[in-house]
Structures are given as structure tokens and as C-alpha cells.
Amino acid sequence: MTGRERLLHALAGEPVDRPSVISACQYATYELMDAVGVYWPEAHSDAEMMAVLSGKGGAEVIGLDAVRAPYCQTIEAEAMGAEIKSGGKTHIPSIAKHPYTIEDTPEFPADFLQRGRVPVAIEAVRLMKQRYGDKVLVMGGIGGPFSIANSLIGITPFLKAMFKTPEKIEPFLEIGLQAAITFGKGYIEAGADAIVIEDMMASLDMISPKNYRQLAEPYEKRLIEALDVPVIIHICGKLDKVMLDIASTGCAGISVESAVDIPAAKEAFRANGIKTPIIGDISPSGVLLNGTPEEIKDAVKSALSRGVDIISPGCAAAPSTPLRNLQAMVEGAKN
């Protein structure tokens, strides 16, 4: 099987020759940059560089079954007016100034697809599809509507309004949804085989299960319904209380951290007739960053024994992750 075939079969719950290995979130590391000769910060804003770092780096150097772009969750906010701080050679970009306050009425720009780094990421996906699309799955990364809405006004004012005046955040959620749909469709038109929603702010480390069900899940569901390719959802943290809710969005897979009780989630899925694959849960800040290749291979075996369907780091790989450790994650699945 090619990596593309393997991952598509795994997402569909069909037999595979061996466990599929991807990185649902970003996997650019310093050593990977050295290996392909492309570096941050230039790769954040140059489609060719992004395609080389993500495409060649993911498919050829690491050996993943899927490649993806971009590396951060600031692109949508930047396209809607946020000021961005460069992370330089060592970090991803961050938001320096949010474009709105909670009292504002946000407007979705008609030229969203031409703004900021949006066309860069889309073109990088197009290039990766041309070069690697017959071998691996090509994925485009977008923020979840809840997370995009948060990025437009900032964490503290957003969370305060969520509790005190929830009606004030609804326009931002709608704009976040519109941005995510538009970005996702742009990727698909460029050839993306799948979309990854990174809804980091929808983590139960930040909000309650009730908040998730009322303010995040409905928008994730509408987003997935608008996209005609498989969609993976990644949310950080301990998600045990909402795993069934995430599955109900219609996603093709759920990417999780090691905080999630995988056996309990799989049992709940079986009891409810849910076959959504679970993706993860190799700790990016633990064994993947600090372990030996043999320890990572053991972690892969452990994840599979606990019911993980598709192997992946549990979140974004730390830039200082040794390249040999990412490669060991793939080797662990082969053996």
C-alpha cells in the first residue's frame, strides 16, 4: 500500500497492511529544516519553501503517510486584520494585536483568499499535491470556528463574554465559521485530500463540556458538512467527557493527546455504534521530544494496544524534536 492508500483505508475502518502514521498537527523541526535546507521564518510566507519543508520533509525524510501545511493557527486572524509577531527561526508566529473588541461587529473580507498568508498555504498544498499526491495524503490545516473567533478578540475578553454576554460572541463564531469554510474549500480546490481542523481553544482545559456542546460542536459540524473531503478534528487536553460529541460532528477522525482515556473512549464508541478512528497519542512533549528511538517504538506499540487506530504525535511536534524520533515513530508502526 502507498501511504495515501493506507491512510484512506484506516480512516474508512478498512484493513491496512500496517498501522498508518501521520502528524495531524505541524511537524517541522530544526533538524528537518536542516535536512531539506528550508527554514522558518521564510517557510511561513513562501509557498515553495513550505511545500519543500512540509512535503519533502514529511513524505521523504520522515516517511509519513500524509503531509500538511501550514505550521501555525494565526493565518485566518491575520487575513482578518490581526497584527502578527514573527516567531523568527525558532517559533511559530503569534498574534501581537487582535483586530476586534467584543463590542465590535466583525465583517468577513470578500477577498479573504487573497489576504496575508492564505494564498501561500493554499499554493503549498497545490505544490505538494503535484509532487506527492500519488504517494501520500495531502492535508490542509485550518482553525476551528471557536478558535478563530477567539483569535479575533483575544482569550480573556472572549471567555468573559462567553459567560456574561454569550450573544456578543455569536457574530465572531459565524465569521470564524465563514473563514474556516472558505479556507478549507480553497485547499480542496488546490487538491487537498483531507482537512485538519485544529480547534485548540475548544479544549476542556479552557471550557466546560457544556460550553463545547453549545458553542464549539455545532460550528464544527456545520464546517464539516460544508467540506466534501474527510475532515480530522484535533483538540488538545483531556476530552473524555466530549469524545462522543466530537464524533457526532461527522469528522473522519479524532486526533487526541495522551490525556484521553483511549480504552474508555473506544468502549463508549462501540456501545454507541461509532466507528470514528482515534488518532494519536504519542506525547510530543514527553517521549517524542525526550525519549530514545526504542522508547518511541514502545510508545507506538502501547498506543496501538490501547486502541489508537492511526499513530500521530498527540499535538504539534516541538521544533527541537530529534528527527530520528519522528522517524522511529514510523518504524515502530512498520514493526
Looking at residue 254, its pLDDT comes to 99
Give the integer Cα–Cα distance in Å for 279 and 326. 16
Q: Would you list the DSSP string of 257-300?
A: -TTS-HHHHHHHHHHTT--PPEEEEE-TTTHHHHS-HHHHHHHH
Coil/strand/helix, residue 183? helix
Mean pLDDT across 128-154:
99
Q: Would you tell me the crossing angle of helices 170-189 and 217-226 to the nearest 10 degrees?
A: 30
Looking at residue 335, its pLDDT comes to 86
CATH: 3.20.20.70, 3.90.1560.10, 3.20.20.210, 3.40.190.10. Which one for 3-334?
Answer: 3.20.20.210
Which residue's entry shows cell 502514521?
Answer: 21
Looking at residue 317, its pLDDT comes to 98
Instruction: Read off the pLDDT band of 270 (50, 70, 90).
Output: very high
Name the pairing type of β-strands 94-97 and 253-255. Answer: unpaired
Reply yes or no on whether the pLDDT at 318 is more than 90. yes
Looking at residue 271, its pLDDT comes to 98
Reply yes or no on whether the pLDDT at 309 is more than 90. yes
Reply yes or no on whether the pLDDT at 85 is more than 90. yes
